[in-house]
């Protein structure tokens, strides 16, 4: 009798919980959607915010059973993560591809297992575009172009610049460079050097120190393909006895709170936003593909450009 009652009570509670989950995202049977998410690593402040955004959106409360793997900046780890999701038979795979190439085989395994793949953040080789259903991310080409636009609007022809590039082979770095190069061309801006700083603060500091060593006072302007490298460069410039933001003007991409703070302080001059808060959109795309509904090939986040004044206006409530 007691056991029966307990079982009934348990059943009622389970039903209530199932009902709650059902209000949000659980599939028709009331069970959770299992998702394997392979993240690149934790190289930057952007990345940390992106991970939190996806974890929050793909929560149990929202109807998801999330397996999260941090690939620690190694593509082989990321490939192994995707392969493990295929073996486990998750409902949907979410991949933030570190670099563009090298995905064909493992994504083909997912396709043959009937597991839909959603890319978030960076893209992969266009020749493999049939191997995923949708990409949720930012427009990197536009971001690079906006950084260049600010330079040609504010710098004299003949201005000498250096570039801190993102991870070699990543679509974020390739597309930012493509957008930047296209807009900067033909305006007499002189590019002294451009090197991979790995999207990290330490990398930005190290490469900027080497640039300063090599080019000294010749450097007038820095384009850093993400905030963290720009913040690292601020340290190197200061250590060289120069004033970041004045002796060397700086434009970066991402729009993290730390960068906006430096913008207000005058040590950065312009920041192009790249929105990392992609979780809610990823969650809705995952739900849709799991339900077999049609989705767009791309969902591109809205990004804006900040100068000191604009940064001041948003800092108090800025989410990342």
Which two three-digit tokens encode residue 304?
A: 């804006």
* Residue 71 interacting with ligand GYE (CB under 6 A): no
Closest alpha carbon to 272 in 302, 316, 313: 302
Contacts for 178-181: CB closer than 8 Å, 24+ residues apart: 178/141, 178/144, 179/140, 179/141, 179/142, 179/143, 179/144, 179/145, 179/146, 179/148, 180/144, 180/145, 180/147, 180/148, 180/223, 181/144, 181/148
CB of 276 to ligand GYE, least distance (A): 7
* Residue 205 interacting with ligand GYE (CB under 6 A): no
CB of 220 to ligand GYE, least distance (A): 24
- Residue 206: DSSP 8-state: H
Pick one of 21, 38, 47, 236: the residue that binds ligand GYE (CB under 6 A): 47
Closest CB to ligand GYE among residues 86, 250: 250
Closest CB to ligand GYE among residues 91, 228: 228
Inter-residue contact 89 to 113 (CB < 8 Å): yes
Inter-residue contact 92 to 285 (CB < 8 Å): no
* Residue 180 interacting with ligand GYE (CB under 6 A): no
Closest CB to ligand GYE among residues 78, 228: 228
* Residue 199 interacting with ligand GYE (CB under 6 A): yes
Among the residue ranges 10-18, 24-32, 42-50, 51-59, the one whose residues contact ligand GYE (CB under 6 A): 42-50
Separation CA 109–CA 123 (nearest Å): 18
Closest CB to ligand GYE among residues 46, 223: 46
* Residue 196 interacting with ligand GYE (CB under 6 A): no
Contacts with ligand GYE by CB under 6 A: the residue count is: 14
Which two three-digit tokens encode residue 114?
A: 């009937």
* Residue 119 interacting with ligand GYE (CB under 6 A): no
Residue window 140-179: x/- pattern of binding to ligand GYE, with contact defined by CB under 6 A: --------------------------------x-------
Using CA atoms, how far residue 1 sits from 9, 14, 135, in Å, is: 12, 20, 54
* Residue 122 interacting with ligand GYE (CB under 6 A): yes
Pick one of 37, 38, 46, 164: the residue that binds ligand GYE (CB under 6 A): 46
Separation CA 90–CA 113 (nearest Å): 10
Among the residue ranges 28-36, 44-52, 87-95, 231-239, the one whose residues contact ligand GYE (CB under 6 A): 44-52
CB of 40 to ligand GYE, least distance (A): 7
Q: Regarding beta strands 249-254 and 221-224, do their DSSP bridges make them parallel or antiparallel, or are they unpaired?
A: parallel
Among the residue ranges 40-48, 110-118, 182-190, 301-309, the one whose residues contact ligand GYE (CB under 6 A): 40-48
* Residue 254 interacting with ligand GYE (CB under 6 A): yes
Which two three-digit tokens encode residue 163?
A: 């570039």
Separation CA 31–CA 90 (nearest Å): 13
Inter-residue contact 315 to 264 (CB < 8 Å): yes
Residue numbers at the binding site for ligand GYE (CB under 6 A): 43-44, 46-47, 121-122, 138, 172, 199, 226, 228, 253-254, 274
């Amino acid at each position: 009798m007691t056991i029966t009652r307990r079982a009934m009570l348990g059943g009622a509670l389970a039903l209530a919980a199932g009902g709650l989950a059902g209000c949000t995202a659980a599939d028709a049977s009331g069970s959770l959607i299992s998702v394997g998410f392979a993240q690149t690593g934790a190289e930057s402040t952007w990345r940390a915010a992106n991970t939190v955004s996806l974890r929050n959106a793909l929560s149990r409360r929202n109807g998801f059973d999330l397996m999260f793997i941090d690939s620690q900046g190694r593509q082989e780890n990321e490939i192994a993560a995707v392969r493990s999701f295929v073996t486990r038979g998750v409902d949907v795979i979410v991949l933030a591809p570190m670099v563009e190439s090298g995905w064909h085989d493992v994504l083909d395994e997912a396709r043959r297992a009937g597991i839909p793949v959603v890319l978030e953040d960076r893209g992969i080789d266009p020749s493999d575009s049939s191997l995923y259903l949708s990409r949720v991310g930012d427009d990197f080409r536009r971001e690079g172009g906006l950084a260049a636009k600010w330079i040609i609007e504010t710098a004299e022809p003949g201005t000498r610049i250096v570039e801190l590039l993102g991870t070699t082979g990543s679509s974020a770095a390739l597309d930012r460079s493509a957008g930047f190069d296209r807009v900067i061309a033909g305006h007499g801006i002189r590019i002294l050097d451009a090197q991979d700083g790995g999207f990290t603060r330490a990398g930005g500091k190290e490469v900027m120190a080497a640039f300063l060593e090599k080019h000294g006072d010749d450097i007038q302007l820095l384009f850093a393909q993400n905030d963290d490298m720009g913040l690292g460069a601020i340290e190197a410039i200061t250590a060289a006895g120069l004033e970041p933001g004045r002796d060397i003007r700086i434009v970066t991409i991402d729009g993290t709170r730390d960068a906006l703070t430096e913008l207000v302080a005058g040590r950065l001059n312009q920041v192009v936003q790249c929105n990392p808060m992609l979780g809610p959109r990823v969650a809705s795309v995952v739900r849709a593909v799991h339900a077999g509904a049609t989705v767009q090939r791309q969902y591109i986040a809205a990004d804006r450009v900040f100068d000191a004044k604009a940064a001041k206006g948003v800092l108090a409530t800025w989410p990342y």
